[in-house]
Amino acid sequence: MKAATIAELGSPVVDDSAWLRLRVKELEEQHLTFRNSLICGFNQLLDLKDISTGVHSTRLAEWAIRVARKLNIPEDHLYQVEVAALLHDIGKIGVPDAILKKQGPLTPDERALINRHPEYSWSILRLFPGLEDASLYALHHHENLDGTGYPAGLKETEIPLVSRIVSVIDAYDAMVSNRCYRKGLPHTEAVRRLCESSGTQFDLQVVQAFIPIAEQEADAVFAAAGTSAEAAL
């Protein structure tokens, strides 16, 4: 009689290895699901803090991915881009409403406090395993190309590309959106200001990649209103 092979008998080592691989995969999926749920929860916190901020961040996440693809950022890095854009303002939960929604000019102390929000965002996001890149992108989304931004005064390519993307789309959406203390600017004026500040505040390459996306968004808004962006000029 021929002796049975290990394969025929079934190897406990192989079986254990397969079970461990399956268990590790299950744990990784559970971790990812939990992390995504926390990210969505934080975005809901922004909605509760200020509905315009939460909706603003959701728009930015979509725009950031579209711009990132145009600039050839690898697909496997787009999750970091999405999270950075979605939660770049999460640090604003540490800024009092009286300052965030103040209709008059901010005092120097109030301005200094609100300018801390990127650091607050970084301090939250860096606690998520695997989101170290996204936390840095959020930290630097208010840097300017000429070094006059905050919190680190970085210049040009010292500023991460994703931070430069968030900076442009963040500024555009802030300009065209209505706030409790002012009316939003027309699309064409917001684009003019982006172009005017390219090379000093904004990255020209990012601005040029974003403008067609902004045009599509503006056309969609005008179409819903029964007109067109071109007719409104």
pTM listed for this prediction = 0.79
User: What pLDDT was estimated at residue 100?
Assistant: 83
Find, among 86, 96, 35, the residue nearest to 63 by Cα. 86
Q: In this structure, what DSSP letter does residue 226 have? A: T
Give residue 18's pLDDT: 77
d(CA 64, CA 189): 21
- Residue 49's pLDDT is what? 67
Q: What is the DSSP string of 101-137?
A: T--SPPPHHHHHHHTTHHHHHHHHHTTSTT-HHHHHH
Report d(CA 135, CA 127) in Å as an integer. 9
Looking at residue 164, what is its pLDDT?
Answer: 98
Asked if 227 and 173 count as a contact pair (C-beta separation under 8 A), the reply is no
> Within the chain, which residues score under 50 in pLDDT?
1, 4-9, 225, 227-233
pLDDT given at position 232:
42
Which of 155, 183, 164, 174 has its CA nearest to residue 214? 174
Task: Pick the closest to residue 126 from 80, 77, 63 (CA basis).
Answer: 80
CA 164 to each of CA 148, 171, 172, 226: distance values in angstroms, whole numbers, following the listed order: 14, 11, 13, 34
